[in-house]
Amino acid sequence: MKYRTIGTAATTRREVSVLALGAMLFGSRTDEKTSFAVLDRYVEAGGTFIDTSDNYAFWEDGGQGGQSEELLGRWRRSRGVGDEIVIATKLGARPLAPGTSYTDNAEGLSAKVIRESAERSRERLGVDRLDLLYAHIEDRGVPLRETVEGFAELVAEGTVGLLGASNHAAWRVERARALAAAEGLPGYEVLQYAHSHLRPRTDIPDDLFPDGSLGHAGADLLGYLREEPGLTLVAYSPLLKGAYTHPDRLPADFDHPGTPARLKVLREVAEETGATVNQVVLAWQLGADLPIVPLVGASSVAQLDESLAAVDLELTPDQRERLDAAH
């Protein structure tokens, strides 16, 4: 395994493995025995960065989520896991009532919600401090200053370490960070967005992102990362939920003329290296000139092992140039 540092402040920055493990479906679709096996294998391989959320996975049973955090809490206790493993969680997108969704009934990002939801997450995970806490989705109904100050209070109290934002417009991230900096408060240092080698259209609105696909790391966000070296991008869905090996799973927003050219060069590099296409995608992210931590999911140890092998896959400058240039 290889490692990198996330965060800049001496009191909150952490060294984490370059490959993060997503626990979204652990405790719901992925049963406890399998979830524990995947987690154990990840730690055995040197993995130290696990990702979850307070709303995972509400859609599986029509509830409000919490299954993933609860399972991670049971796994931590049963294995004697301490603070050597960094667990990141998120708040803001938990449905306020069973049978509803975050698209129309989210808990939001008020100071009250931030405090109460963070406390629930700490209890479910069985930790005194949340290593990394994200604002999961935007809440434009709450003043941004209230959200910034709400997160900062928890950091000051020692119950939260690093702060992050997910699925926000880049200008909202910058505005929040500027507010925090002006007040001498901790701001977002880790950004979590969907990012893969294939590029989606970003002009397709949906219920959650009416202005377009804010959940994807587009050119504006990547440009922001270049200008802010203290930030880290945690890239979720790097393997597009299996679409590289099952093209029928490719989301509709990837159906455009640029996709075949990028798939072609991925397959060429995979053949040249003897790796899988999935491993080439991850190696391309891991070796990027931007600080990117791929966040992989796994419903079996075999799936995880495929992703872990990408850590040691070195692409040549020519291969990387071809992967970058395809369009």
Secondary structure in 3-state letters for 74-135: HHHHHHCCCCCCEEEEEECCCECCCCCCHHHHECCCCHHHHHHHHHHHHHHHCCCCEEEEEE
Residue 159 pLDDT > 70, yes or no? Answer: yes
CB 306 within 8 A of CB 276: yes
Distance CA 327, CA 198 (A): 9
Considering only residues 22 and 204, tell me which one the structure prediction assigns the higher pLDDT: 22
320 found inside a domain: no
What is the per-residue pLDDT for 71? 98
At 207, is the pLDDT very low, low, confident or very high (cuts 50, 70, 90)? Answer: low
* pLDDT reading at 144 higher than 90: yes
What pLDDT is recorded for position 212?
54
Average pLDDT, the chain: 95
Q: Where are the beta strands (DSSP E) in 229-291?
A: 232-236
pLDDT, tens only, 91-140? 999 999 999 998 889 999 999 999 999 999 999 999 999 999 999 999 99
Q: Is the pLDDT of residue 206 over 70?
A: no
Total structural domains within the chain: 1
Question: C-alpha angle with apex 66: 65 to 68, nearest 5 degrees?
Answer: 110
Residue 208 predicted with pLDDT over 60: no
**For residue 6, what pLDDT band results from cuts at 50, 70 and 90?**
very high
Dist CA 114 CA 92 (whole Å):
8
Q: Is residue 152 part of a domain?
A: yes
Q: Please, which pLDDT band fits residue 252 given cuts at 50, 70 and 90?
A: confident
In a domain, residue 306? The reply is yes
186, 163 contact by CB (below 8 A): yes
pLDDT in tens, 12-64: 999 999 999 999 999 999 999 999 999 999 999 999 999 999 999 999 999 99
- Kindly report, residue by residue over 260-319, the tens digit of the pLDDT: 999 999 999 999 999 999 999 999 999 999 999 999 999 999 999 999 999 999 999 999
So what's the pLDDT on residue 201?
A: 85
- Domain span holding position 44: 3-244+278-314
More confident residue, 280 or 214: 280
Let me know if residue 49 belongs to a domain.
yes
Residue 167 lies in a domain: yes
Distances in whole angstroms, Cα of residue 167 to Cα of each of 245, 258, 274: 26, 24, 35
Residue 88: which CATH number? 3.20.20.100
Instruction: Confirm whether 203 is domain-assigned.
Output: yes
Residue 215 pLDDT grade (very low, low, confident, very high; cuts 50, 70, 90): confident
Q: How far apart, in whole angstroms, are the C-alpha atoms of residue 169 and residue 325?
A: 26
Give domain status of residue 76, yes or no.
Answer: yes
| 272 within a domain of the structure (yes/no) | no
